[in-house]
């Protein structure tokens, strides 16, 4: 695994690597929620760093969580770097160099799980997607479900680029630009991933046929239509009922493979830091998503290994 320092990557075109090859071959099963799997193992995540806290305290717990999903049938593990930022780590007194090491460790933990899963009999490519959460995730106040932070795309690009460089230096198979609530942040991320040499997917969090900030999904997906770095577009961290329309729009506007991984259907209460409501996610919906054009299918918050195993069985 390459370990260049952040900022040292030379601009290169996005590679045709194992992720693109696997995506061209078959539908890939993504994993489920990292936080619910860690909490079920007894880890306290009531913290602004969320699962990223364990990068410094219990990285082996992350490997165990990834392994649970690989053994359930996931082909792709999404790293615990969603809330890992230089700014967030700095609040804990962790300097930039160590923060970059912890971001790289998020990739290494998932790679270790893939290696272990192979020794236990898993076949086929097991891939690692480095999670890049929105600016609102660093704020830890639920604003990733609103967007519109009062920052320009240029300011958001300056926030995201250093962490993208740190994650890309660890050589994941793909960068997961996920839970993006508005087009300003999408625009910033599309500029920030240029020249990193790692493909990416862009996934919005949505409500109905609009981003969380209220922009039409047609406009949101159009931003990525001509991006060479972006190999898939879609939605995550949303209600499963919002997925069908998003797939149709994404296919029509971009022609790219579609990624979908909705929540269980419960609602996050940011002030109480707890989930409310009931689960509405069913694996029967997966058949329709595949038929409509989804090529990467999994779950987000509150979707665990049991549900991922059911998705894997459904997709055959």
| pLDDT in the model for residue 266 | 66
Reported as a pLDDT band with limits 50, 70 and 90, residue 9 is: very low
| pLDDT in the model for residue 8 | 42
User: Binding site for Zn(2+): which residues?
Assistant: 237, 300-301
**pTM more than 0.85:** yes
Q: Where are the alpha helices (DSSP H) in the chain?
A: 18-25, 34-40, 53-57, 59-72, 86-90, 96-119, 135-139, 153-169, 183-192, 217-222, 243-254, 284-292, 305-315
Adjacent-strand bridge partners of 131: 176
Q: Pick the closest to residue 91 from 52, 131, 130, 143 (CA basis).
A: 52
pLDDT at 286 exceeding the cut of 50: yes
pLDDT at 1 exceeding the cut of 60: no
Tokens 């058949």 map to which residue?
A: 287
| pLDDT in the model for residue 126 | 97
Reported as a pLDDT band with limits 50, 70 and 90, residue 240 is: very high
Contacts of 199 (CB under 8 A, 6+ apart): 14, 15, 17, 19, 20, 173, 174, 175, 229, 230, 231
pLDDT at 282 exceeding the cut of 90: no
Give pLDDT tens digits for 147-181: 999 999 999 999 999 999 999 999 999 999 999 99
The torsion angles phi and psi of 266, rounded to 5 degrees, stand at -75, 165
| pLDDT in the model for residue 273 | 61
pLDDT at 16 exceeding the cut of 80: no
Mean pLDDT of 286-310: 94
pLDDT at 79 exceeding the cut of 90: yes
Give pLDDT tens digits for 118-135: 999 999 999 999 999 999
User: Binding site: which residues?
Assistant: 237, 300-301
Give pLDDT tens digits for 99-115: 999 999 999 999 999 99
Lowest model confidence (mean pLDDT) among 154-158, 189-193, 263-267: 263-267
| pLDDT in the model for residue 253 | 98
């Amino acid at each position: 695994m390459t370990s260049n320092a952040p900022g040292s990557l030379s601009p290169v075109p996005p590679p045709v690597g194992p992720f693109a090859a696997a995506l061209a071959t078959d539908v890939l099963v993504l994993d489920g929620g990292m936080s619910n799997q860690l909490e079920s193992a007894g880890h306290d995540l009531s913290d602004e760093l969320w699962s990223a806290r364990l990068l410094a305290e219990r990285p082996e717990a992350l490997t165990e969580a990834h392994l649970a999903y690989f053994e359930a049938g996931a082909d792709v593990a999404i790293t615990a770097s969603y809330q890992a930022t230089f700014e967030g780590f700095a609040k804990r007194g962790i300097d930039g160099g160590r923060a970059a090491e912890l971001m790289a460790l998020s990739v290494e933990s998932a790679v270790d799980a893939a290696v272990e899963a192979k020794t236990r009999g898993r076949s086929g490519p097991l891939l690692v997607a480095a999670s890049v959460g929105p600016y609102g995730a660093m704020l830890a106040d639920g604003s990733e479900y609103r967007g519109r932070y009062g920052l320009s795309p240029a300011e958001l690009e300056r926030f995201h680029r250093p962490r993208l460089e740190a994650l890309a230096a660890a050589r994941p198979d793909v960068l997961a630009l996920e839970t993006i609530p508005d087009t300003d942040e999408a625009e910033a991320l599309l500029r920030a991933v240029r020249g990193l040499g790692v493909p990416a997917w862009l996934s919005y969090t949505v409500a109905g046929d609009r981003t969380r900030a209220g922009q039409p999904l047609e406009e949101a997906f159009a931003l990525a239509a001509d991006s060479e770095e972006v190999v898939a577009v879609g939605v995550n961290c949303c209600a499963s009922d919002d997925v069908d329309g998003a797939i149709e729009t994404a296919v029509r506007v971009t022609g790219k493979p579609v990624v979908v991984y909705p929540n269980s259907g419960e609602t996050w209460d940011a002030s109480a830091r707890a989930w409310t409501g009931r689960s509405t996610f069913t694996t029967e919906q997966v058949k329709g998503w595949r038929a409509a054009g989804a090529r990467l299918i999994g779950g987000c918050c509150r979707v665990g290994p049991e549900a991922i195993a059911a998705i894997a069985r459904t997709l055959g």
